[in-house]
Structure 1
């Protein structure tokens, strides 16, 4: 057909020639380079996810354009490659001129482009070898050997973000704390959750996404520990779960959204380093978090559970109730609760006891020589403590804790290197203290002789 139009006189054939070229292009675009009789699998957006991404096989995929001369030259060798690797490596081809979105998804900028989809299907490798069937087969077999070696060493590949989707078990044994979110589990895990979520929408071919990945994973682990699992970091492959990306108006990668129950998602505007992400997550956590509890030390479990779960444990020893009364004690407790609220972002533990109730604890912390009330701040990981030397007031306590946070102030090791035995005591009832009632003795009926009295004393 193309030759026929070329034989027409130029002034007559100009229109038909253009039409002929268009028809030829359309025929090539529809038919592509490969047919069902070839061992090359024709791939498109409808079957790519099922055939390639969800497959355990290693895939070689050619991205071509029908009008590309180099692609046309590669066709015969690509067919030979597919036949030679049949049953060993899957070989496919994508008409990236017709399916531009699929080519763009994997960063295809020229033709032909060959990608190796190995252990991590979301991050294919570029094939850099020669374009003969022998060179391509050699490259494929090298990729197979590398894949087998990884599997033998226990590296199974897959998504770089841990797969903690709704159908699986808990994430305790996962490689990292990033939750992989999908069209199927997103609503249940994020929208129906009472927790706060930071969700990254990424594309596997996106360079900025690849740079963010280790930062996001490291931050997720830290945030999970510091917020006791109340703040989650998730990730959505927006090229696979396009419904989610469309629902939240994702236009570029990576995009990060903040999700709170009952509120519209917000765009994350912070930095992209792990420290930036952790700081933002902790701000989200503390904004709505209640202040830490101020607990009386009633037994060893109260001390152990509070201090071991906190980076710093602040213990106050208040004067005996007979010395202050309920009003005086409540005044001290109010100061402590204000300081706990002010420093809630620090995730410290706050405890108090009455003077004399836990003498072993007072002795191990060196409390007593400075009078009451007294305060000690304890790093339970190092079993080190520091004592408040200033006034037991908002200003004095604030200065004390601020100096500790910047590494100022003297510290000492807890006596014995461990917490002492804690006595079990009753909780304060909130009332004034009462002196013990003295029993009256009636001595009128007691007959004492002079000897029992030790003799009389006469003046």
Structure 2
């Protein structure tokens, strides 16, 4: 039964894949990407795709044609991001398909932005290959991270790091620096005489530099600081332990990733994003709020809620809770989230085309491209989730932001969390008014 079930799963995966073994497109995975692409000397054109993506399905036959035409000249590969998300993470793959060119400098692939036809892909690949050959003839070094790049054994696939970014841990500082810290830590337990540890050292330093500010990497000489090494039952070298974010109980998890810098970075970032706090939902009370939300993030989500007179505190808090839940669900994207009420920031509403069809409303903006996308579905968990899911994979219609700049934001007071008081009309005492007077008033009117 298990064999049959496994066969069904394999057939299902095969059916979903856009490429097969009979194609000239190389299937790249988390286990072979570093060896084939990063450590290799060849020029690679790599497509990062999702099997369900319509644009990816349209590209597939052209990609296959290009791979056949370039066979023996340029390598053409594809990464199924549904199965191997960790491969694309270091390269900020957000939408599908994304095509990267791994040329002379494997550490810094370039984006392919040409037409998605076999001819255009082949032309671009040949142009890049020709330039690589000229650079080699002139003695230029690409710092490719491949076999001839020198440095460590195994090829890092990452940028050259600094040993200073690796924290030296000891029996005396381990508890204070690691266990009493809220940071995510990856700790290598090593022995100075260990060959594998020597091979890992430059990879560890490179990863530490790339992860600086997010994840801390440390190293502890287990032959000297035996108390800590014994506590974590270190028997072989190198041993890598993971100490999760937040308050720690002293327990550690075994590191399950690869040992190249790109593998370490990818695994660490995956752990980091799983445990980060959800984004703060901030009321749009000044321009600085919008700048922080939009300029410091890939996307900023702007919600315009009904005016407090039309939607009192209970109503408003329900909408705010939906926004917080969506922020938590998409926290790995690290978007900015702001809200305002109808009429408070008219320039913002005009810039994003909000208004005219009721509130609440929502838009998401990419401040680098000065483009936005408008929520056209329901302002509900389901509607917003569908909208954000499309944005997360690079789909959905967009429009240019008015004047191609951040809209004007007026300084306003933050909501106090209370209901608004309806304006009170003055009562007119008519007890002393004669009926004849009322009739005369009516006649005048």
1:405 aligns with 2:406: no
Alpha-carbon distance, 1:373 to partner: 1.5
1:233 to 217, 238, 247: 217
Aligned residue pairs, count: 274
Aligned match of 2:377: 390
CA contact (8 A) 2:304 2:342 kept: yes
**Residue matched to 1:360:** 347
1:256 matches 2:208: no
Aligned pair in 2 of structure 1 residues 310, 408: CA closer, same or farther (>3 Å)? same
Q: 2:336 aligns with which of 349, 354, 358?
A: 349
User: Is residue 310 from structure 1 mapped to residue 289 from structure 2 by the alignment?
Assistant: no
Residues 399-447 of structure 1 show CA distances to partners (whole Å, capped at 9, x for unaligned) of: 11111111111233433333223111122233333443445789999xx
Deviations, residues 343-370 of structure 1 (Å, cap 9, x unaligned): 2232222211001111111222222244
- 2:299, 2:200 → 1: CA distance? 31
Q: Which whole-Å CA distance do the structure 1 matches of 2:304 and 2:334 have between them?
A: 21
Decide which moves more: 402-411 or 244-253. Answer: 244-253
What's the offset of the Cα at 1:199?
0.8
Paired with 1:244 and 1:235, the residues of 2 have a C-alpha distance of 12
Alignment of 1:31-70 (within 5 A): none
Query: How far apart, CA to CA, are the structure 2 residues paired with 1:184 and 1:161?
Result: 24
Query: Which structure exhibits the higher relative contact order, with contacts defined as CA atoms closer than 8 Å and separated by 6 or more residues?
Result: 2
Matches of 1:436 and 1:430, distance apart in 2: 18
1:371-422 per-position Cα deviation (integer Å, ceiling 9, x unaligned):
3211112233443322212221111111111111111112334333332231
Q: Does 1:199 align with 2:173?
A: no
Q: How far apart are 1:257 and its partner, in Å?
A: 0.6
- Structure 1 vs Structure 2 CA RMSD: 3.5
Tell whether the 8 Å contact from 1:161 to 1:179 is kept in structure 2 after alignment.
Answer: no
Which residue of the other structure, out of 326, 329, 335, is the alignment partner of 1:339? 326
- Give the SS at the match of 1:322: coil
2:317 to 301, 306, 330: 330
Quick one: distance in 1 between partners of 2:395 and 2:198? 40
* Structure 1: tracts of 5 or more residues without a match: 1-158, 164-176, 446-452
Tell me if structure 1 keeps the 8 A contact 2:188–2:240.
yes
Q: Distance in 1 between matches of 2:296 and 2:388?
A: 18
3-state SS, counterpart of residue 399 of structure 1: helix
* Bigger Rg over Cα: 1
Classify the secondary structure of the residue corresponding to 1:323.
coil
**Partner of residue 186, structure 1:** 174
Identify the residue that residue 291 of structure 1 maps to in structure 2. Answer: 278
Which residue does the alignment assign to 1:88? none
Contact 2:161/2:209 (CA < 8 Å) preserved in 1?
A: no
Residues of 1 paired with 2:161 and 2:320: CA distance?
49
Summarize the Cα distance change of 1:312–1:236 in structure 2 as closer, same or farther, 3 Å threshold.
Answer: farther
Following superposition, the deviation at residue 243 of structure 1 comes to 5.8
CA contact (8 A) 1:161 1:180 kept: no
Could you say if the C-alpha distance between residues 213 and 357 of structure 1 is closer, same or farther in structure 2, counting changes exceeding 3 Å? Answer: farther
2:163 is matched with which residue?
162
Aligned-residue offset at 1:283: 4.7
* Structure 2 counterpart SS, 1:332: helix
Give secondary structure in 1 for the equivalent of 2:365.
strand
- Alpha carbons of 1:400 and 1:223: their partners in 2 closer, same or farther (altered >3 Å)? farther
Deviates further, 399-408 or 436-445:
436-445
TM-aligned CA deviation for residue 208 of structure 1: 4.2
Indicate how the Cα distance of structure 1 residues 302 and 245 shifts in structure 2: closer, same or farther if over 3 A, else same. same
For residues 208-223 of structure 1, the aligned pairs below 5 Å read 208-209=196-197, 212-213=200-201, 215-223=203-211
Shift of 1:220: 3.2
Q: Conserved in 1, the CA contact under 8 Å of 2:162 and 2:209?
A: no
Pair 1:368–1:204, CA change in 2 (3 A) = farther
Q: CA 1:376–1:214 in 2, change beyond 3 Å: closer, same or farther? A: farther
Deviation at 1:337, TM superposition (A): 1.4
Task: Give the deviation of 1:212 after TM superposition.
Answer: 4.2
TM-score, normalised with respect to structure 2: 0.53
Name the counterpart of 1:167.
none
Aligned-pair CA distance for 1:224: 3.4
TM-score, normalised relative to structure 1:
0.51
Structure 2, gaps ≥5 residues long: 1-159, 434-440
Distance 1:394 1:320 in 2: 21
Provide the secondary structure at the position in 2 that maps to 1:395.
helix
Q: Distance in 1 between matches of 2:285 and 2:424?
A: 25
SS in 2 for 1:357: coil
